[in-house]
Structure 1
């Protein structure tokens, strides 16, 4: 209340009641105002504020409310900027919001930490992001449903980047189960469905992946969110490709490509070119696959920031040249893949790289190297709990080299995969 603010400011300024009252009111009147038993006359407000070294708005508490509102708006906008990869703008908003931090409630403090964590994730500073999240009391954040939803979604993202895919799925599912106003927070809900769909497809459950990505698509269509809709189409196309629904895959990639008119960026374009190349490779049109692969590789190397993605395109090009019987060209890409491997930590990329290199050596009749690289691929997938891919690789190797132990191992891995699905 205003009396409390006057008393606090008077004490901070070192003024006595008599000094504050001098010439305008009686000391008793000032004491009554400070005790909130009398009203401060409007015509006296400016003089009292001046003597206390503050503004009328601040004395009335209006300035604080205005600053809190500004801080909230800045943090909300900053969160949107992070999703659009506009990190400089997000950071600028954070700096401005921190200028009002003395007025922050516990809710705003939590929102600030969540936003800073989101920025760290976008910068791929995963350990720093996880450390920052530890500043938040998981029990306290539950009091704010909207923030608890974001908190769980970001925990899921951290788990995903740390390759703890099953924990990521759990966090995303928990987030969706939080009782929030989905219409009010449609964008954030769409992001959560997108994340969940992507991880489900990643671990091999294409049905769950499609189901959640379709929900994300519907939300982003409704709110006109072009950037996220483009990414959703790319991931849906990936699912259709893996199901061998090539016509649907190409149609969906073209939908993503059409949206680039409004949301053009090299990274997204490179993904689309790469994935169209994969479809043509499966359709045995290796010349087309190489054409799109080269377009993707050119963009990815120009960006010079995503070695995982460069490797995915090298796999496509190596495989396509191998299928055309161009062993020398294929071997060039094998050597380039091997040069990238020490700098790449993503288990999916590493596992598929070793698998593709193994296929190259099989095509050359070098069964020893084929077996060695296949087993490295299996070990990587198992370590990351990507059991579906480990099982598939073990089965194919077991059949090829007539190893019944490997075939039995593949059955155990498939069982582990389905057991994980049942518990999630």
Structure 2
């Protein structure tokens, strides 16, 4: 048994210093050697240290749930079976030794990070990650794998895609050492998350590779829903690579699967992304039809779906504007403003307000773009909207014969276009 790691784990968990734990028993220096597994002390010493921490040295087995029970919980999290995951979590925390046993507690906390992300509790997940990180020097290779996987997912949810990729690559490195401990669904899960992070970080070729790796395993398991997820992501990747034929092929495959499984969320996403693709190639009427189809499958029963709904309404406004159908624009703006009452969203509020101003030829539109809209999206690093609104502003300034300022905004848009040429697509 790794006595040193257990001692350090409980000492840190209880907020004790080495001096406080060692006081009157051994020297802090000797305790440090024990905690770092540099020496094996006498059982009498260990008993005294355990007693100070409130642990029973002679009861190392505990009546705790097995690690298999924890992995069962983790599987429900990975496959997004929310109700089952909540129930298993409640069962686990009823067992006090889940939180008292060093080995089980680490796995419980690492899995809990992902459960919090599943519940969209990103800040709580970050707090849990910071808490467990202080125990990292007690981790074995399997714990390191889940720690870096959780770290990568957390960074993904926080929008730090390059850091997410780095953490996931660390997890991949550890996976080779514990390959016999991992189920095939865990390997495919790792590849899929890698594919997500690399797609968002614009490492598109890498994402295509990882999607293919994940899809191969999901297809072998006849996991239709995960296979559809892969096809949606691959469609987005090929769209970014401007291989629109391959993109549509993947979107249609995802749609075919989602129709079989009756997965309305996936159908919603498929039609949104087909609409985005059609818009990119200038088929604005087709884009509108696909966006409208997506609305049929948006039940708005979650924050995510409500966000998709606002994004789709914004896209419909833009497509009608590009067709100079200003009445259609205003109709969808009104629809969007009604939805904002249910779920306030500052970026969508700015989008909808901009189109009202531009359609009505409001003289304040230039100052609003300069002082409010573009600075907001620059602060959020939303490059696609900085580009879009900078180009609009450049055109408006040119019409006012303000050529120097117009050139500056046009240059800003071109620089960002050259740097971020793969923008587009909505992910799960």
Same fold, judged at TM 0.5 (above)? yes
8 Å CA contact 1:163–1:384 kept in 2: the answer is: no
Give the C-alpha shift of residue 310 in structure 1: 0.8
Q: Please tell me whether residue 86 in structure 1 is matched to residue 81 in structure 2.
A: yes
- Select the structure of larger CA radius of gyration: 1
Specify which of 186, 189, 192 is matched with residue 191 of structure 1.
189
8 Å CA contact 2:77–2:118 kept in 1: the answer is: yes
Q: Matched residues in 1 for 2:267 and 2:76: separation? A: 20
Specify which of 97, 101, 106 is matched with residue 102 of structure 1.
97
8 Å CA contact 1:267–1:303 kept in 2: the answer is: no
Partner secondary structure for residue 214 of structure 2: helix
Counting only pairs closer than 5 Å after superposition, residues 272-351 of structure 1 correspond to structure 2 as: 272-306=270-304, 307-337=306-336, 343=343, 350=347
Residue number in structure 2 paired with 1:234: 232
Q: Matched residues in 2 for 1:241 and 1:416: separation? A: 17
8 Å CA contact 1:156–1:168 kept in 2: the answer is: yes
Classify 1:145/1:244 alpha carbon distance in 2 versus 1 (closer, same or farther; 3 Å): same
Specify which of 369, 379, 389 is matched with residue 383 of structure 1.
379
The root-mean-square deviation of aligned C-alpha atoms, in Å, is: 3.8
Higher RCO (CA < 8 A, seq sep 6+): 2
Q: Matched residues in 1 for 2:151 and 2:332: separation? A: 37
Residue number in structure 1 paired with 2:15: none
Residue number in structure 2 paired with 1:7: none
Specify which of 124, 135, 146 is matched with residue 131 of structure 2.
135
8 Å CA contact 1:378–1:394 kept in 2: the answer is: yes
Partner secondary structure for residue 255 of structure 1: helix
Question: TM-score, normalised on structure 2?
Answer: 0.68
Classify 1:287/1:137 alpha carbon distance in 2 versus 1 (closer, same or farther; 3 Å): closer
8 Å CA contact 1:155–1:171 kept in 2: the answer is: yes
- Structure 2: gaps spanning 5 or more residues: 1-58, 399-405, 422-428
Residue number in structure 2 paired with 1:216: 214
Partner secondary structure for residue 201 of structure 1: helix
Residue number in structure 2 paired with 1:57: none
Q: Please tell me whether residue 73 in structure 1 is matched to residue 68 in structure 2.
A: yes
Query: What does the per-residue CA deviation read over 1:208-242, in whole Å, with 9 as the maximum and x for residues that have no partner?
Result: 43343333333433444333222121121122233
8 Å CA contact 1:230–1:260 kept in 2: the answer is: yes
8 Å CA contact 2:369–2:393 kept in 1: the answer is: no
Give the C-alpha shift of residue 257 in structure 1: 1.7
- Structure 1: gaps spanning 5 or more residues: 1-60, 419-424
Deviates more, 1:394-403 or 1:130-139: 394-403
Give the C-alpha shift of residue 125 in structure 1: 1.3
Q: Matched residues in 2 for 1:121 and 1:89: separation? A: 16
Residue number in structure 1 paired with 2:250: 252
8 Å CA contact 1:319–1:356 kept in 2: the answer is: no
Query: What does the per-residue CA deviation read over 1:255-298, in whole Å, with 9 as the maximum and x for residues that have no partner?
Result: 11222255432222211122222333345444443333223223
Give the C-alpha shift of residue 328 in structure 1: 1.0
Residue number in structure 1 paired with 2:200: 202
Query: What does the per-residue CA deviation read over 1:295-343, in whole Å, with 9 as the maximum and x for residues that have no partner?
Result: 3223324435332211221123223333343211212223444565684
Partner secondary structure for residue 134 of structure 1: helix
8 Å CA contact 1:390–1:410 kept in 2: the answer is: yes
8 Å CA contact 2:300–2:309 kept in 1: the answer is: no
8 Å CA contact 1:374–1:393 kept in 2: the answer is: no
Q: Matched residues in 1 for 2:281 and 2:419: separation? A: 32
Q: Matched residues in 2 for 1:207 and 1:101: separation? A: 47
Give the C-alpha shift of residue 78 in structure 1: 1.5
Deviates more, 1:166-175 or 1:84-93: 166-175
Q: Please tell me whether residue 156 in structure 1 is matched to residue 152 in structure 2.
A: yes
Residues matched between the structures, number: 353
